[in-house]
Chains A and B, each alone.
Chain A
């Protein structure tokens, strides 16, 4: 089984709809991240969480919110989806300072299309 899973894998939604993307991990990592990837722009950080009580905005957090329900679960919500939020979304995890492991491990991605 994959260490980092994301649901749904693909989603088409309409402008104005609320949508939630979910991420779960079995790696036992404290840190979790949400990124979006657009062609030609690389990976951009939306939100990150270093533990259940810690949530931080990334470089492009406007229009998004997150919830860290447990160490293993981190969800991303689009409160009112708009077409320019069409992108590939990745969840990632890392061990962080307690483990000295900074490399991140990614889920398979969610392809979101907003029409």
Chain B
């Protein structure tokens, strides 16, 4: 089983739609969680951290469910510019101290 699993998609949605991605992780000791965005052939960029109480940044809402070990990202009022791959990222506690494990990404395509 992969440490971080995501549906690769693609999710094809019209502009203005609401879309949600889920991600599951296997290490119950993980402490920090993030969503990154990656445009084609570009570097991953931090979209938002995910906090236990859930958090919102504009049209983006992230939720964490520790009991079920999954993380979600909700995008409201999708824009064409939201088209990208979204990476779920989880810290892996070890002797080296909280390395990051990246999911394979979920591809989103927003259509006019």
Contacts and interface: CB of A to CB of B under 8 A. Distances in A.
> Bound pair: A and B?
yes
Interface of A is mostly: strand
A103 interface: yes
Given A56-B96, A96-B97, A103-B49, A42 B102 contact: yes
A96 B100 CA distance: 11
A45 B104 contact: no
A88 B91 CA distance: 23
A104 B100 contact: yes
Interface string B18-60: 0000000000000010100000011111100100000000000
A97 interface: yes
Size band of the interface chain B makes with A: 20 to 34
Interface string A22-61: 0000000000000000001111010010100000100000
Interface of A: 40-43, 45, 48, 50, 56, 88, 90, 94, 96-97, 102-109, 111
Contacts of A109: 41-43
B98 interface: yes
A7 B60 CA distance: 33
Contact of A42 (B32, B97, B99, B104): B104
